[in-house]
Amino acid sequence: MNMGNFATTIAEQSGKPMPEKKQKKAGQPTKGSLDEEHRNFLRNLKELITAGEIDLGNPRTFLKKEVYDNLSEEWKEQADLALMNIATLLRQVYELYIRTDTPDESPQYQTMIEQLWQMKQRIEEHHDAFKF
């Protein structure tokens, strides 16, 4: 699409509400493949949740207790702050993954997982505090 057509399309749509059916479709993950590392992460996550080792409603269960208990107060604070963001994103990834109306593999999962890994890495480059 050239820029003239793009600008015309945007101008034509301005002020018009998008039909509900299109809105729902626009928010859904698209089908695509994941690399092995991301697939393994999703499988491992599902296993941890199914086995009851982590509880998405209780972010403290994401932590390796023996590691967390031995952290300095400064690192505990950092881990606690990270937990809220990690919990939110982890819940979103998992809920999308288990839904039957979304693909099992999607570029959106890969992006979300990489964001999650970046959050975890800020702590884990110093302390291996998380179970996943």
- Domain span holding position 54: 31-124
- Asked, for residue 61, whether it belongs to a domain, the answer is yes
Which pTM does this prediction carry? 0.70
Per-residue pLDDT tens digits for 3-24 = 556 666 666 666 667 677 766 6
Per-residue pLDDT tens digits for 83-104 = 999 999 999 989 888 888 877 7
Say how many C-beta atoms besides its own lie within 10 A of residue 61's C-beta: 16
Whole-number Å distance between alpha carbons of 15 and 96: 31
- Asked, for residue 41, whether it belongs to a domain, the answer is yes
Looking at the structure of the chain, the number of domains it has is 1
